[in-house]
Amino acid sequence: MRVLLVGMNAEEANAVAAGVANLVEETVIETEWSDLEQSVADQRPDVVAVRLGSRPGTVLALMRKVRALYPAISYIALIEQETAGIAQSVAEAGCTDMVLLTELPRDLRRALRVVKSRGQGPGAAGDATVILGAKGGVGTSVVAANLASELAAQGRKRVVLVDLHLFMGDLAISLDLRPHPTSTWFLRQGSMADARTWSEAPPQHKCGFRMLGLTGDLADSEPVTAEQVVFLIDRLKSRYDHVVLDVGSDISEVSLAACTAADSTFIVLVDDLACRSGARRRLQALHALETGAKLILNRTTDVGTSEIKLVEDFVGASVAHTLCNDYATLLKALERGQVLRELAPRAALTKDFRDFAEQLTGVEREQEKRKKTFFNFFR
């Protein structure tokens, strides 16, 4: 655990650092609280303890801003004395604890133990899948929504669909769901939300999956950081069995952060030169971040092994699954705000999505394993 002490003079800070030395790996001292954002960016600590001093409102406003940018970090407020409303103000700023200066370093040791115990809790149990488009209009939203629907149909799986195509995503509209709370709310305020909010606040679709959508409000243009995206995915994985993220087709800090934090990434393309080239460029961007992706070939008609190999050779990645071209059924589902499982459960395209979901979760492999065990028993 790395701790950043902010706003104390060098003598005070060194005394506090000595008092908590056996609980932390390293303590970094920053005397000026006005440099908090830059210090956190440079040091990337696990815990930030800030002395509020004579301007608690100003310092807490800065802490709220920094916490929004780096939500995975724990923040502790160091106060001179308990005054009316200070506890509420500290909580609203997103601080995990409050420590009196007169109780240092003993009470800070207690607060650090609490932070450490939280970090030793159960980690992420679910898996995250990113759907990325080779270019606009290839069907990433359709793929993400129908994959989430089929994953939710596998027993009692907890599934959440996340629209991360910020400011342009329309998954909530297409599924006739009210996007509240939104993806951006969880990205910026999620560190202050309790476990119940993460599990129950996202609206639920009739097919069983929950969803974080977007309103399309361009006025809400505060930038989202990679740290916020990673924090969002980690929190969702601890609450859901499957997290499906539609990141659109843009290569951005948001989409790349999602791909690096996810367990698997799929690039959706149709079989034309523009899509092949777009998929190859996106794969190269992911390789630069030491992560990879597989391909989903959408809207296929009588595609054989040789055609698939041509796509794989050109892009440099394997085709994980193909989805047949059934525009009429798909359009009807979109017009009704439905997924294919609701409108046409026996359609060929619905079966393609079902097969893809089973392939993704290993259901087919497990069934094959049970089948072999059954036959081996009678040999």
CATH number of 31's domain: 3.40.50.2300
Q: Are 38 and 61 in a shared domain?
A: yes
Q: Is the pTM of this model over 0.85?
A: no
What is the pLDDT, as a whole number, of residue 176? 92
**Complete DSSP assignment for 320-378:** EEEEE--HHHHHHHHHTT--HHHH-TTSHHHHHHHHHHHHHHTHHHHHHHHHHHHHHHT
Judge if 178 and 202 occupy the same domain. yes
In a domain, 379, yes or no: no
29 within a domain of the structure (yes/no) = yes
- From the number of C-beta atoms within 10 Å of its C-beta (0-12, 13-18, 19+), residue 120 rates as exposed
Q: Please indicate, yes or no, if residue 7 is contained in any of the structural domains.
A: yes
Phi, psi of 267 (to 5 degrees): -95, 120
Whether 187 maps to a domain, the answer reads: yes
Domain match, 80 and 166 both: no
- Does 227 map to a domain? yes
- The reply to whether 94 and 191 lie within a common domain is no
Helix extents (H) in 246-345: 253-261, 273-288, 305-315, 327-335, 340-343
| Rounded Cα–Cα distance for residues 199 and 296 (Å) | 30
137 shares a domain with 235: yes
User: Does 105 sit behind a cis peptide bond, omega within 30 degrees of 0 on the bond before it?
Assistant: yes
Q: Are residues 77 and 148 in the same domain?
A: no
Residue 39 three-state SS: helix
Do both 135 and 11 map to the same domain? no
Residues paired with residue 127 on neighbouring β-strands, in sequence order: 242
User: What is the overall mean pLDDT for the chain?
Assistant: 89
Q: 177 with 214: CB under 8 angstroms?
A: no
Closest CA to 184 of 239, 224, 243: 224
Q: Which whole number is the average pLDDT over 95-118?
A: 89
Last residue of a domain, one of 92, 119, 146: 119
Partners of 75 in the beta sheet?
48
| pLDDT top residue among 192 and 57 | 57
Among 65-69, 101-105, 139-143, 266-270, name the one with the lowest average pLDDT: 65-69
Question: Domain containing 244: what range?
Answer: 127-372
| Cα gap 143→296, rounded to integer Å | 9
**Does residue 100 lie in a domain region?**
yes
Instruction: Report the number of distinct structural domains present in the chain.
Output: 2
Confidence of residue 162 (pLDDT cuts 50, 70, 90): very high
Average pLDDT value for residue range 233-242: 94
* Per-residue DSSP letter, 204: B
Q: Are residues 68 and 112 in the same domain?
A: yes
Angle subtended at Cα 204 by Cα 201 and Cα 207, rounded to the nearest 5 degrees:
160
- Between 94 and 209, the higher pLDDT residue: 209
* Cα separation, 55 vs 339, whole angstroms: 53
Of 119, 148, 181, which residue is a domain's last? 119
- In this structure, are strands 26-30 and 47-51 parallel, antiparallel, or unpaired? unpaired
Instruction: Cis check for the bond before 181: say yes or no (omega within 30 of 0).
Output: yes
378 lies in a domain? no
Q: Which of 77, 98, 119 is the last residue of a domain?
A: 119
How confident is residue 83, by pLDDT bands cut at 50, 70 and 90? confident
Mean pLDDT calculated for residue range 115-142: 84
**Is 298 a member of any domain?**
yes
211 and 311 housed in the same domain? yes
Give whole-number Cα distances, 235 to 97, 136, 170, 311, in Å.
20, 29, 23, 36
Q: Note whether 109 and 133 are same-domain residues.
A: no
- 52-66, 91-105, 323-337, 359-373: which range is least confident on average? 359-373
pLDDT of residue 357: 96
What's the pLDDT score for residue 364? 47
Residues 99, 198 within the same domain: no
Please give the pLDDT value at position 378. Answer: 46
CATH number of 180's domain: 3.40.50.300
pLDDT per residue over 245-292, tens digit each? 999 999 999 999 999 999 999 999 999 999 999 999 999 999 999 999
The answer to whether 312 and 319 are in contact (CB under 8 A) is yes
Residues 115 and 132 occupy one common structural domain? no
Mean pLDDT of 200-227: 85
